[in-house]
Structure 1
Amino acid sequence: MRLFFGVFPPRPVQETLAAAQASLRGNWKPVRAGQLHVTLGFLGEVPPEELPQVMQAGEEAAAAVAPFAARIRGTGFFPNEGRPRVWFARAEGDGFEPLALDLRRRLPGFLDDDRPFKAHITLARRKGPAPRLGPVVFDLEFPVNGFALVHSTLTPRGPKYETIQQFSLKGE
């Protein structure tokens, strides 16, 4: 199973972000509105027998972090220099990094990413020649009360997501 942990903003936030995709030109492939999310950790292929361990790590990480406010202010690119592969919206919130790092700590072998965690929402991926977009400024805020473990199935029309489990934040 191809899995990731993610925070899905409420539908009005997703729709506002999706509206910004109208400015895309060239070979940018937009992410569908209902799939816009902050990835806390991408696990990749997980054998079914490992699923209980992954779900336990999600429960424990959720118990350690309190609900928090998330903010979306503007856009950027990965990589920032040269030809970008990803256009994203910057996400801010006190709980994003603690959650991501706690999940990494609890799931060695699955989340062994040494790169610093950067909370973001991927808006589009470049699939060929495409111009850079100018910055887009947002003033969006939403409460984060939990996150999800999601099964992602790749198809020719794009990924299909199925939520396996929701985790409610419970920390003090």
Structure 2
Amino acid sequence: MRLFYAIFPPKAIQQALVPTQEALRHYKGWKLAPPEQLHITLLFLGEVHNEGLEHVSQVGRTVARSVPPFEVRLGGTGYFPASGSPRVWFVKAEGEGLEPLASGLRRALPEFERAERFHPHLTLARKKGPAPRIGPQVLGLRFQAKAVCLVESRLEKSGSKYEVLEVFPL
């Protein structure tokens, strides 16, 4: 199963991001992320066999307990990559606990370590065809991060479907 650790904002924040996403709705090259799937990925694990599930669950529980609840600030929008043809439109996330959570998970699970640096963000849309860049938007939204989730991502024809397998309180 494809797994990742994430922080999900409250439903009110997910819904507050919908008007921002609307700026891209009329461009056919962008596929908007469903509001209920908006999240901040702390570590993407990829394929994990059933026998490894208990280990990644225990790591999530331990790392989450090491960080107290904290405020997450959603600031301005940006693109990956920063120049050239964009593939992802995101909103930057900041918060004292994001880096300690991400680095704690990476240290505890070196077999899943990725070469790329951790860039805390929440993906608003993904490119699926020719897609223009729109100007930056500033959101200024805030929420309290209270838990880390272990999430299964299933690839379907209509797009990825997420199921929260476990919630680890901070």
- Which TM class, normalised by the smaller chain length? over 0.9
Q: Is the 8 A contact 2:90 2:122 kept in 1?
A: yes
Offset of residue 116 of structure 1: 1.6
Which digits, 9 at most, give the CA deviation of each residue in 1:12-51, with x for residues without a partner? Answer: 1111112211111231011000000000000001000000
- For residues 88 and 102 of structure 1, the distance between their equivalents in structure 2, rounded to whole angstroms, comes to 24
- For residues 151 and 128 of structure 2, the distance between their equivalents in structure 1, rounded to whole angstroms, comes to 24
| 2:119 is the alignment partner of 1:118 | yes
Mapping for residues 28-67 of structure 1, pairs under 5 Å: 28-67=30-69
Q: Which residue of 2 aligns with 1:12?
A: 12
Q: Is the 8 A contact 2:18 2:35 kept in 1?
A: yes
Q: Which residue of 2 aligns with 1:92?
A: 94
Q: Which residue of 2 aligns with 1:151?
A: 152
Alignment equivalent of 1:76, drawn from 61, 75, 78: 78
Q: Is the 8 A contact 2:42 2:102 kept in 1?
A: yes
Offset of residue 73 of structure 1: 1.2
Q: Which residue of 2 aligns with 1:135?
A: 136
- For residues 134 and 31 of structure 2, the distance between their equivalents in structure 1, rounded to whole angstroms, comes to 13
- For residues 21 and 89 of structure 1, the distance between their equivalents in structure 2, rounded to whole angstroms, comes to 10
Segment of structure 1 superposing worse, 6-15 or 19-28: 19-28
Percent of paired sites with the same residue: 51
Unpaired runs of at least 5, structure 2: none
> What SS does the aligned partner of 1:26 have?
coil
Offset of residue 115 of structure 1: 1.8
Q: Is the 8 A contact 2:86 2:131 kept in 1?
A: no
Unpaired runs of at least 5, structure 1: none
Paired letter, 2:139: F
Aligned residues: 168
Which digits, 9 at most, give the CA deviation of each residue in 1:71-128, with x for residues without a partner? Answer: 0111000000111100000000000011001001111112x11222110000001111
> What SS does the aligned partner of 1:109 have?
helix
Q: Which residue of 1 aligns with 2:2?
A: 2
Offset of residue 161 of structure 1: 1.0
- For residues 34 and 147 of structure 2, the distance between their equivalents in structure 1, rounded to whole angstroms, comes to 21
| 2:110 is the alignment partner of 1:108 | yes
> What SS does the aligned partner of 1:124 have?
strand
Q: Is the 8 A contact 1:71 1:93 kept in 2?
A: yes
